[in-house]
Amino acid sequence: MKKEKIVLTYGTFDMFHVGHLRLLNRLKNLGNKLIVAVSSDEFNEIKGKKTLIPYDQRALIVEHIKCVDMVIPEHNWEQKVSDIEKYDVDIFAMGNDWEGKFDFLKEHCEVVYLPRTENISTTQLKLELNKFLDIYEK
């Protein structure tokens, strides 16, 4: 009989902020073990995302967060089913901005969408940084 409940999530985790931390803590509270798949630089390129922090550093930051039990690389969209099977995942969870996008995984495990922390996101931080740089450069 399986004793622990395993939770799996995915993300880029660029410019780590309190919203990431709060989400990861809420994800950990869903089970006993939290596995975080951090998007590789190559996969971010495929998605058209430019990160400020390289994969190795982003993964290291996430790996050292108390609530995170394991970090794995995310190389492509298709790996989610194989990760669920490989790590015997009970719950696949993401922020609610992804609501419905991963419902196809319900045949493999429970799928949960949690609310994001309001008024903070990496996209917002990057926009603010760009505004600051524009003003600074003038």
The SS3 assignment for 48 reads coil
Q: Which of 104, 50, 112, 115 is nearest to 77 (CA)?
A: 104
Task: Report the alpha-carbon distance of residue 38 to residue 103 in Å, rounded.
Answer: 20
Contacts for 15 with CB less than 8 Å, ≥ 6 apart: 52, 53, 122, 125, 126
Active site (annotated) includes residue 86 = no
Contacts for 41 with CB less than 8 Å, ≥ 6 apart: 51, 54, 55
CB atoms within 10 A of CB 51: 19
User: Which residue among 5, 28, 47, 86 is the active-site one?
Assistant: 47
Active site (annotated) includes residue 5 = no
User: Which residue among 5, 28, 33, 49 is the active-site one?
Assistant: 49
Q: Active-site residue numbers?
A: 47, 49
